[in-house]
Amino acid sequence: MSSCADSHVSFHVLTLFPKMVSQGLSASVTGRAFEKGIISLETVNIRDYTLSRHKKVDDYPYGGGAGMLMQAQPVYDAFRATVDRINESGGDGEKARVIYVTPQGRCFRQDMAKEFAGERDLIFLCGHYEGIDERVLEEIVTDYVSIGDYVLTGGELPAMVMIDAISRMVPGVLKNSESAEIESFGNYLLEYPQYSRPEIWRGKSVPGILLSGDHEKVEEWRLEQSLERTRRLRPELYEKWAAENQEYFIKKAKREERARKKALKQKKALGGS
């Protein structure tokens, strides 16, 4: 991994639909981060690199079969031009990770987002049609990554999903209040439920503890809600969290034991009087 003192990440997306990517990421949190210069985005139109007179980038697969394949030449030349630009900007284009978004890849996860956020340059390759000629993939791709077990019409949406998730792990992209939340809950757990004004809506009240002003109790309640939700909806994530946070259960058991003894003592004292 090429570490980067100022944490800036440059995304380079090789695609046949550059506007889809640049427009999709230009709003909200990523848009704000581009404007602030914390991250940057270069879209590279693969079609600009075809040597074909008719601007063709696809052809029939050898051996037959459905659909068309993206050809090696325009993809390779778009990649080489991107590497050259990275080198000119002071990076090491030859060492940049090249992520091919494909349903055949490793499933994208939060820890991957964190890891990728430590890179200076990330090149995304978006396929279309039935895929890309295997020879250029062998030549340039370092990571094959999927966003889930379903097939989309192209790699642009998965690349945008990953860029969004990676961006929010880059220091400065989220506002302090937003990033503090990630740190306090760490990996694996689902979000606790949240409430805003009014206090009662359609007869439903905000849980009383959130109005108590007792910060410690609120944090405890939130963690318990997160744990309960994760255990119910994503038991495999809960098991991972539990395995890494044994001390939480030990402390909880001790707390409950103390509370039980205290209640017993009070009961005895009342019975004795």
Residue with Cβ nearer ligand ADE (101 or 173): 101
Q: Name the minimum Å distance from CB 156 to ligand ADE.
A: 9
**CA nearest 157: which of 24, 5, 4, 8?**
24
Cα angle, residue 141 at apex, residues 140 and 147 outer, rounded to 5°: 155
Residues 265 and 271: their CA atoms lie apart, in Å, by: 10
Residue with Cβ nearer ligand ADE (82 or 146): 146
Residue with Cβ nearer ligand ADE (65 or 186): 65
Is residue 74 near ligand ADE by the rule CB under 6 A?
A: no
Q: Cβ contacts of residue 46 below 8 Å, gap of 6+?
A: 14, 15, 16, 57, 70, 74, 75, 78
Q: Name the minimum Å distance from CB 64 to ligand ADE.
A: 22
Size of residue set near ligand ADE by CB under 6 A: 11
For every residue of 217-268, which 3-state class applies, written as one string?
Answer: HHHHHHHHHHHHHHHHHCHHHHHHHHHHCHHHHHHHHHHHHHHHHHHHHHHH
Q: Name the minimum Å distance from CB 161 to ligand ADE.
A: 8
**From the centroid of its chain, how far is CA 133?**
28
Q: Name the minimum Å distance from CB 100 to ligand ADE.
A: 8
Q: Of residues 168-197, which lie at the interface with ligand ADE (CB under 6 A)? A: none
Is residue 167 near ligand ADE by the rule CB under 6 A?
A: no
Candidate ranges 4-12, 88-96, 152-160, 214-222; the one touching ligand ADE (CB under 6 A): 152-160
Cα angle, residue 145 at apex, residues 236 and 128 outer, rounded to 5°: 130
| Single-letter residue type at 141 | V
Structure tokens at 202: 């359609």
Q: Of residues 89-148, which lie at the interface with ligand ADE (CB under 6 A)? A: 101-103, 146-148
Residue with Cβ nearer ligand ADE (102 or 225): 102
Give the residues lining the site for ligand ADE (CB under 6 A). 101-103, 146-148, 150-152, 155, 158
